Amino acid sequence: ILLMGQRSGRQEISKKPEVVLSEIMEAEIEVQSNKEETQEVKPKNQKLMSVFGVADLKNAAVGLYNLGQSCCLNSLLQVFLMNIRFTRILRRITVPLSPAQRRSNVPYQMLLLLEEMQCGKCKAVGPTELARCLAEHRVKLFVQHDAAQLFLTLWNLLKKQMKKPELVEELSDLYMICIQEHLACQKCSLETKSNSTMLTLPLPMLDANSYRLKTLEDSLRYFFNPEELTGQNMCFCQQCGRKTTFLQSTKLVHLPQILTLHLKRFYFERSSCTYKLSHSLPFPQELDLRKVLTEDQCLADDREKATWQYQLFAVVAHSGSTSFGHYCAYVWSLTECKWYCFNDSEVCQVSRVRHVSFAPSWTLLQVSSSLTGC
């Protein structure tokens, strides 16, 4: 999974861009006074105060202990909690009243984990209570997970349990992609259009002839290319009264602040066998969708397209096969301007991720705007 964020300055929805003490107290978080905290902030980070607030500047690189095949969960949690835009939403949740409600509330348990990671002095903490909370919502533990599917599950639980409508709106603006799907009969004038939202763009690694797509940009262009539905894929046309050839196309309407791209590395053969595509796919640190997609592949005005410039923010990587493997996350720290590798409880700084072709394990990326100017 690749996660990317907008480079240009989209106006953020948040009515409270700075985390104030009353909001932190509402979430039962113990913090020092603003005066004491400000003294702890390094001079180079003073410019971030007006954007993030004092508490968010404590986003330190802390690992998460593996509870038993929880590397996928750990990697996704690191991607969520290292995203200051997300933690600013998380800090303003309504705290459930009863102990039972708090134990089963995913946003609250994620907030407690965030505070434990930021306030503690350990190199790693255990996400035990959050894992128990997820189990109450039928999220299986001690099993192999698909990162894209688990990412969707976590996001749905967060959205469902955030009681404030403005926070749900901000969460959607942060992650949700809007597309329009077209179906046009090639025998008559019948055409149908429908809008839908997606959390990730599932990008192919191969084209229709099973040839490798060479770059991330190629994969994006291929995803939005029209496809002719023929043979067994023909659709029933109500106007023609029979199955006919249809032209199916997807057009991009709106992109979020954090764009999540899922590289589809699992390949299904006619023999019902599944295997993993192990070739590398080069991707850039900066991505401008205006230069990648054509006018026919977009349904957006110039103001919307002006926000379609992204920088690489995080990569969730899987190494192994379809039946077993291991996940880790590479995340750019917006406050420290450094890349970190999160491998469960082990955390280390890595060199800048830029214009390189990664190994076969890379599966999901996020891109994000650089609010810090680093």
Strand-pairing partners, residue 252, are 179, 298
From the candidates 235, 326, 337, 341, give the one annotated as an active-site residue: 326
DSSP secondary-structure letter at 257? S
DSSP secondary-structure letter at 158? H
- Confirm whether 326 is a catalytic residue: yes
- Separation between Cα atoms, residue 297 and residue 372, nearest integer Å: 32
Q: Are 263 and 206 in contact (CB under 8 A)?
A: no
- Separation between Cα atoms, residue 9 and residue 107, nearest integer Å: 27
- Separation between Cα atoms, residue 38 and residue 49, nearest integer Å: 9
Q: Are 96 and 110 in contact (CB under 8 A)?
A: no
Measured CA distances, 60 to 122, 190, 199 (Å)? 11, 56, 27
Q: Are 254 and 300 in contact (CB under 8 A)?
A: yes
- Tokens 């690992």 label which residue? 63
Q: Are 126 and 62 in contact (CB under 8 A)?
A: no
- Separation between Cα atoms, residue 130 and residue 177, nearest integer Å: 27
- Confirm whether 71 is a catalytic residue: yes
From the candidates 71, 133, 237, 328, give the one annotated as an active-site residue: 71
**Which active-site residues does the annotation give?**
71, 326
